[in-house]
Structure 1
């Protein structure tokens, strides 16, 4: 594992997993929410956001967490490992609520957290498995055919992965 792309619904634990993997592998981690938004929560222009990712994936080793389906092919084409956190909407909503209680909203660069909850974000989480999941799976199949794809469907599976497979890679 040298080039790891972590994807999944908001609140699924992408940033937490990325930080844990970075500790084990000593690979640099990039949280795309921290790249995509400035301090005032304004998104970068799409071409600039894509250019930054092109530069990131040219590094010899990395962990990048975040969905951003429009630029996901950039990461998938280079990743040797893709970890898809395919958790239930209820689990992801609980994760968002816990994050809100911990960080009290806003952007936290050190933690990879961009904590902004609104109705459209809640709807996105509720519809992720039906709407976005098939798209992400298609992108993984198309752009990362040779990558080791790990699908984790619960927090327990994620902890087990960290304790076993990730610890030995």
Structure 2
């Protein structure tokens, strides 16, 4: 589902990881994108100064929100905070395990799309789920999750 009609790239998506993502953030993104069906993601490219994409070559992921193990409304609140650091035409990748995050994030994007303000949001990959067991972000314990929800939100121009 997209909050936009037909202005987003068609799946499979090409995703570009911004230069300023840390190695840990890149690893989280790549690891979790590999869990998605192959028809969702065409290519994931790490950007550096020699690999600057054209505007139509895919989505540039600027930040990641790891909401695994967080109960509602924390994944949405972390998403709102992270979007402050995402510029127009850049994206935020969110992973969450709380089923309520699916409705919360979709509604948030739809609400922002309808307001037509300068921070319009476009939800490119909506509630793609994968069933998996993943280690928690804390190295001292492990958490088992049945479903991981994947979201990619791109901040778009209001025009």
Does the TM-score normalized on the shorter chain lie above 0.5? no
Higher strand proportion (structure 1 or 2) = 2
TM-score (norm 2): 0.34
Q: Using CA pairs below 8 Å that are at least 6 residues apart, which structure has the higher relative contact order?
A: 1
TM-score (norm 1): 0.33
